[in-house]
Amino acid sequence: MLEGFDKAFENRVRLGMMSILMVNEWVEFIELKELLQVTDGNLASHITYLEKAEYIETRKSFIGKKPNTTFRASKTGKDAFKQHLKALEKLIKK
Amino acid sequence: MKKEDNNPVETLNDIKNLMERSSKFISLSGFSGILIGILTIICVSWFCSAYDIDPLNMDYDDLPDQHFSVALFAAMGLMFASIAIATFMTVRRANQMKVSIWGLASKRLFINMFTPLSIGILFCLVLFFSHIDLVVPLSLMFYGMSLFNAGNYTQQGIRSLGVVEMFLGVLCLVFMEYHILIWTIGFGLMHVIYGAYMYFKFEKY
């Protein structure tokens, strides 16, 4: 395994999700789905992965009767992502 | 999105791309800028010829009250027409580019552009009835500030357009007799120029 690489970000969907959450606060499920062009089930499983790693925070609320779930990157998640980026950059410079 | 790809350069590019796509709305239509600019120039020319006003030598004290109310209605009409044209053509372009018209990025752009702009419009409306000679410079000023602010959430070039508009606003404070001319440059000519720049740079495929 390469030095500094985070297993959580090996997957493109999770990497993409974190990229979006680095520059946006509280993003809705549907927005993520649209930007990443993945299915509901696929996205949900990656969300669960990142939640377990405590890289993202989830907020559930209701708009009228419709459930609305939004996500943001946690401090841990942001730090991990930056670390991962650094490792990628190092790899390029080699 | 490809499933497996270990090329770090491509990965970094994807990250950058997603960050931009989720925070910047780049489907603004340049062509609508050209149309709005031309419409503005036609409107002002009509107004000046119909009421016999010299755009190079205008004096607020010489104008009868009735002209002001016509100017107010014309300006409001022009504003609504411009917003309608820009919205319609931007929606079309976003659909072509397969970008969500009401996504993260467009919401941000809308809020950051229209909060200062709508306060500015209200400000100018009130001024219209008390300090009419300040309406032209301040409308340019508020519009420029809104564009400058919006530049963070769309093509960066909009910021330069904003700076030009603000600068024209300052010029208006000095050259009172050129108000109509400067306003037409700001809302007419500059839209045509910037719209054409955007059109030829981003839209002509």
Tell me the H-state helices in chain B: 8-23, 30-50, 65-97, 104-128, 135-150, 158-174, 179-184, 190-198
Tokens (6 digits) for B2: 């490809």
Q: What is the pLDDT of residue B1?
A: 46
Spatial neighbors of A42 by CB under 8 A, at least 6 apart, are: A13
Alpha-carbon distance B110 to nearest alpha carbon in chain A (angstroms) = 16
> Inter-chain contact B8–A12, Cβ cutoff 8 Å?
no
Alpha-carbon distance B106 to nearest alpha carbon in chain A (angstroms) = 12
Whether residue A31 is contained in a domain is answered as: yes
Q: How many CB pairs under 8 A join A and B?
A: 56
Whether residue A32 is contained in a domain is answered as: yes
- The CATH number given to whatever domain includes residue A77 is 1.10.10.10
Whether residue A94 is contained in a domain is answered as: no
Q: What is the pLDDT of residue B41?
A: 97
> Inter-chain contact B18–A34, Cβ cutoff 8 Å?
no
Give how many domains chain A has, as a whole number: 1
Residues of A with Cβ-Cβ distance to B3 under 8 angstroms: 12
Q: What is the pLDDT of residue B2?
A: 46
Domain containing A81 equals 7-85
Is B203 in the A-facing interface, judged by CB distances under 8 Å?
no
Task: Give me the residue from A13, A37, A88 closest to B11, CB to CB.
Answer: A88
ipTM: 0.85
Are A18 and A55 contacting, i.e. CB atoms less than 8 angstroms apart? yes
Whether residue A91 is contained in a domain is answered as: no
Alpha-carbon distance A20 to nearest alpha carbon in chain B (angstroms) = 5
Whether residue A73 is contained in a domain is answered as: yes
- Low-confidence residues of chain B: pLDDT under 50: 1-3
Q: In tens digits, what is the pLDDT along chain A, a chain of 94 residues?
A: 567 788 889 899 999 999 999 999 899 998 899 889 999 999 999 999 999 999 999 999 888 888 889 999 999 999 999 999 998 888 888 7
> Inter-chain contact A16–B8, Cβ cutoff 8 Å?
no
Is B1 in the A-facing interface, judged by CB distances under 8 Å?
yes
Q: What is the pLDDT of residue B8?
A: 82
Q: At what angle do helices B158-174 and B190-198 cross, to 10 degrees?
A: 170
Alpha-carbon distance B170 to nearest alpha carbon in chain A (angstroms) = 35
For B16, the closest chain A residue by CA position comes to A19
Residues of A with Cβ-Cβ distance to B21 under 8 angstroms: 35
Whether residue A68 is contained in a domain is answered as: yes
What distance in Å separates the CA atoms of residue B203 and residue B27, rounded to the nearest whole number? 9
Q: What is the pLDDT of residue A1?
A: 52
Whether residue A93 is contained in a domain is answered as: no
Q: To 10 degrees, the CA torsion angle through B128, B132, B134, B135?
A: 40
